[in-house]
Every structure is written in C-alpha cells, then in structure tokens.
Amino acid sequence: MMLPAELMPLFEGALPACLVTGSAEGIPNIANLTRVWHAEPHCIAIANQLLNKTYRNLMENPFALLKMVNPHDLIHWEVSVRYVRSEYEGALFEQIRQDIETVSWVAGVPLPAPLRSVVVFEVVSVRQCVEESVHLKPAPETYGDLLNVLAAVHEWNRLSYWIPGENDQDVKLQASRGVPGAGVDAAAFESMKRLALLVKSDRRIVRLTNIRSQLRYLHSIRSESEAQEDRLETPLTEATPVSYLAFPILSSHAVIGIVCCEGNSGQMASVHSREDRYLTGLAAKLGEALLTITSVPAQEREALFKQVIELAKLQWEKEADPFHSSLSARERQVAANVAKGLTNAEIAKQLFISPRTVTTHLERIYQKLNVPSRAALTRYVMEKGLLTDDSE
C-alpha cells in the first residue's frame, strides 16, 4: 500500500524505531533502529549493519512489524511490512550509506560497522496505536469546553462526548451537557452509549429521527410480557428524545472521539440542519485541534474550539456554494478570470479556447449563479472569497 503524506515525518530520523521479526518456528526477535527510510511510494528501507538475527529471520519469514513514532504529534504507528529484496549498490544504497556516514562524522563517533546492504520492505498495512496515545488525551474538562461551544454555535442542547475504550466493545463518557438525569439516573446515557458504539464500529455519521414513533411500533408488535421488558430497557416517556445525531472525531484516520446529540420535539431542525459533508469536515478539524489542545491554556480552549468550528462552517459554505457545486471546472476558470478583470479575448487566449466559447460559458454561468452581468459576477466571486487559482 502507498503511505499517506501525513506519515512522512516517521522517516525523518528524529525518533528511533523497532523492528519485530520471527523465525520459521515463530521465535521473535526485536531490533532497535535509529532510522527508517521511505524508499518508494509503497516501500520502506532499513540499513543492515549488524542485523544478523533479523536478516536470518527475514530469510525464513518475510513478514515483519515496525513500530514507529511521529515526532510532530508523538502518535505511535504499527507498520506491517514484507521483505522484498536486499540492495548492495545503487542510488538507494548510496543515499543511506551517505546519511549514516554523515551522522557519524557530525557526532565524531566511528561507525560500529560498515553498511552491508539495504533491506527493502513492501508496506502491507498501517495502524495507529490508539491504545498508546493516552498521554495525548486532553483532560475531561476540555471535552466539556468543546460541548459548550458546539451547543452555542449549533443550538444543540443535549450533548455527550465519548472516547474509545480499551476494547472494541467499549466507549467511555468524558463530558455531557444538558442531558436529563445526568449524575442522577444511571440509565440517562444508555441510548447515547449504544449510539457511540455504533459510530465507533462503523466510523460514520448516524442520524435517527422519529424515535418515539418507532419505539411505540416496537412495543406494539411484542407480546405483553416482552413489551414490559422492552419498556424497562428503553422507557418511552415525555423525556424520550425524538431524534439523535452522532459523528466520529477522526485523527490520522483513527476514531479518537464521538459526539452524540439528542433532540426533543423543539430541536429537530437544529439537530439535523447540518449536512454530513459539513460534519465530516468539522470532525477532521476538531481532531487536529484536540491533538494540540493540551498545550493551550485552559482559559483559551473555548476560543480555539469556536475558531475551529467557524472555519469549518466557512469552508463548508464555500464548498456548498453554486460556484463549486454547479459550475464545471472550466466555468469556474472563466468566472475567476472575469473577476480578475480579463476580457473575453484575454480569457480565450489564457485558456486556449475561442472567444465564442468564452461567451457561451458566461451565459451558462449567469444562469447557474443567477447573476445578470459581468460586474455582478465579479462582485459575487469577490464577496464570497472564491477567487482561486482555477484560472491557471
């Protein structure tokens, strides 16, 4: 598989790594590595200087496991690899040899052994070690600050924040806001917990509406005794929410949290007014913020979360604008060049099309954006901040 660009810091050599191999009989061996190199889009390499046992194991069993740490955020990663070849000369061999000798020269320490070969692995899979990121998790108060901001910006009144537990069947409540019975009723969060587990498992946004009607239907199709048991598990009262919304908070493709929201009869619109595309972008930005939030003073956390949410809203509004959702790539280029003040003839020359084609594009643009003129189109593009490099 090809490694994503966000994992390239793993190969900067800032932090050591370890390589786990196993013999044909399954006897393991762990080797500490000062550095791992990114060799090709789907391959990585290590220097073989004193890797005797490791090399023997690879000749018997080509599969191995690398444990690496991103120096920028201290997140641990497991990289499953398969041995494909050893190189004894060539560009990659010379690059790694020079890197090793340069470090040795700067440190003033002789090399313990010359470079024998470069061992090249194919990347099989990558996994973020969420269980080893406890030191990166913010305090529970931080999640409370996040819920306060979400409630203020989106008018969501019943909220909870969950983080993955130690196993696949567990999530842990970190903060809540406005949930009836919180701190008093042990069952106050049962529905939200089940919802959080579903989001964690499926890694997707979950929306549920008309819950009361569906619960009444479930009760009606059971026998009297079964219905009584069901009421005990999921009681249907005036406090029962009529809708739910939950979405995962992601960081480096891993679920680090789940936001759950309940809505009563008066909150349906506010709970479900946000599109999935907006929530996906919001979740990604919140995931980035939570990785660095521990370095932010407590009194500034809510301000940071508000800024992140406002940025997500602006990005979504821009992407949802007809300029992006209705215009073709060529039409966006024409509109951007009009906003830059170019004439039809200049746009035609810039885009290698005829002036008549430019005129046709403009007529379609006016219709799709509901603007009457060239000046109105320019004002539309400039006011919405849509002037991009699409004209290049």
The model's pLDDT over 212-250, given as tens digits with 9 standing for 90+, comes to: 665 665 556 655 555 454 444 555 555 567 788 999 998
CA nearest to 287, candidates 250, 247, 248: 250
Q: What is the mean pLDDT of the chain?
A: 86
Residues 80-87, mean pLDDT to the nearest whole number: 96
Amino acid letter for position 230: D
The 171-177 sheet, strands edge to edge:
171-177, 158-164, 254-263, 243-251, 206-209
Report CA-CA distances (Å) from 33 to 50, 181, 275: 10, 53, 46
In this model, does residue 166 exceed pLDDT 90?
Answer: no
Distance CA 296, CA 305 (A): 11
Domains and CATH numbers, the chain: 5-128 (2.30.110.10), 134-320 (3.30.450.40), 322-391 (1.10.10.10)
At residue 214, the pLDDT reads: 59
| φ and ψ at residue 3, rounded to 5 degrees | -75, 135
Query: What residues form DSSP beta bridges with 30?
Result: 20
On whether the CB atoms of residues 285 and 150 are closer than 8 A, the answer is: no
**Mean pLDDT value of segment 78-82:** 95
**What value does the mean pLDDT take over residues 88-111?**
91
What is the token pair recorded at 236? 């249907």
* pLDDT the model gives residue 222: 59
* CA dist list (Å): 130 to 75, 140, 162: 8, 17, 14
Q: Look at 14 and 389; give whichever has higher pLDDT.
A: 14
Q: What percent of the chain has pLDDT over 90?
A: 53
Which residue in 165, 348, 359 sits closest to 256, CA to CA? Answer: 165
Residue 389, pLDDT > 50, answer: no
Q: In this structure, what token pair is assigned to residue 141?
A: 């108060």
pLDDT value of position 53 = 94
pLDDT of residue 216: 60
**Residue-level pLDDT at 169:** 82
Query: Tens digit of pLDDT for each residue in 119-141?
Result: 999 999 998 886 665 555 688 88
Q: Which of 35-49, 154-168, 212-226, 260-274 is predicted with the least confidence, judged by mean pLDDT? A: 212-226
Q: Is 353 helix (H, G, I), strand (E, B) or coil?
A: coil
Ordered DSSP codes for 24-49 = TT--EEEEEES--EEEETTEEEEEES
For the chain, what's the residue count?
A: 392
pLDDT recorded at residue 118: 96
pTM of the predicted model over 0.75: no
Reported confidence tier of residue 199, pLDDT bands at 50, 70, 90: very high
Mean pLDDT lowest for which of 18-27, 34-43, 220-229?
220-229
Distance CA 86, CA 115 (A): 12
Alpha carbon distance 43, 93 (integer Å): 14
Taking the C-alpha atoms of residue 247 and residue 293, their distance in angstroms, rounded to an integer, is: 20
Tell me the C-alpha distance between 58 and 116, whole Å: 15
Q: Which amino acid is it at 169?
A: Q
* Of 74-83, 199-208, 286-295, 353-362, minimum mean pLDDT range: 286-295
Strand order across the beta sheet in which 28-33 lies: 28-33, 17-22, 63-69, 76-87, 117-128, 43-48, 37-40
Mean pLDDT computed over 204-217? 74
145 secondary structure, DSSP code? H
Once rounded to an integer, what is the mean pLDDT over residues 308-335? Answer: 87
What is the reported pLDDT for 240?
Answer: 67
What's the longest Cα–Cα distance across the chain?
Answer: 83
E strand segments, 43-146? 43-48, 63-69, 76-87, 117-128
> Could you give the 3-state DSSP secondary structure of residue 20?
strand
For residues 173 and 187, what is the distance between their CA atoms, to the nearest angstrom? Answer: 13
Could you give the CA distance from residue 63 to residue 81 in angstroms, rounded to a whole number? 6
> What was the pLDDT predicted at 5?
82
pLDDT at 266 over 80: no
Pairing of strands 243-251, 254-263: antiparallel
What's the rounded mean pLDDT across residues 101-109? Answer: 89
Six-digit token string for 205: 């946004």
Tokens at 345, concatenated? 């003839």
